[in-house]
Amino acid sequence: MNFLIFSGIAYLLGSIPTAVWIGKSWYNIDVREHGSKNAGATNTFRVLGKKPGIIVLSIDVLKGFFAVYIPVFFIQYSVNDELVKLQIIAAILVVLGHVFPLFANFKGGKGVATSLGVVFGIHPPAATVCLLVFLLVFIICNYVSLGAIVAAIIFPFVLKFVFAVESIWLLLFSVVLSLAVIITHRKNVTRLLHGQENKMNLFKK
């Protein structure tokens, strides 16, 4: 029963279409009809600007964080792996909710910000390392997609070789999450290879 309850909560949290709601209510714009047509933070920055972009980014990260962290407050497991399993299920569903949101006709974003929140909820130190790598790649290259892909690729390695995580469930999840980010960015990879990917300058006014 706990699995069903927290899975439902996770999917509903993920289904909150932050970019869509803010775009429509504040600017009368559906971000899915402009820019990359993606209902995520990056496209919000491009289409609507920094302020709404930061708000969307923050909320999308928090969605992932709370989805995997809420169970910690309500359930005490004698076997730690049981909690990890529940968090992993919640993590998968909150990201699926973001990509296929119930409240926005199942047309959402790519789940990068929500995935970051998930990782912070499950393993904050690894999330911090991945975030720093993302920022480094982004600042150097001005490609959000490349930063996200590189951060996703190193996530399993950071868990295993930097923090010596032994939970097979967490390691398997890290691989699945990494592959999911790469798959959702497959068009970006093609554009990167052909030099056609859009850049975004973090410091541009």
Each residue of 89-105: pLDDT tens digit?
Answer: 999 999 999 999 999 88
Residue 83, domain member (yes or no)? yes
User: Residue 100: how many CB atoms within 10 A of its CB?
Assistant: 16
Residue 122, domain member (yes or no)? yes
Residue 56, domain member (yes or no)? yes
In 31-111, which ranges are continuous DSSP H helix? 41-48, 50-74, 80-99
Report, as an integer, the average pLDDT of 15-40: 92
Residue 77, domain member (yes or no)? yes
> Among 24-28, 70-74, 130-134, where is mean pLDDT lowest?
70-74
Residue 87, domain member (yes or no)? yes
Number of domains in the chain: 1
Asked if 70 and 47 touch (Cβ cutoff 8 Å), the reply is no
Residue 198, domain member (yes or no)? no
Overall pTM surpassing 0.75 (yes/no): yes
Look up the domain containing 161 and give its range.
Answer: 2-193
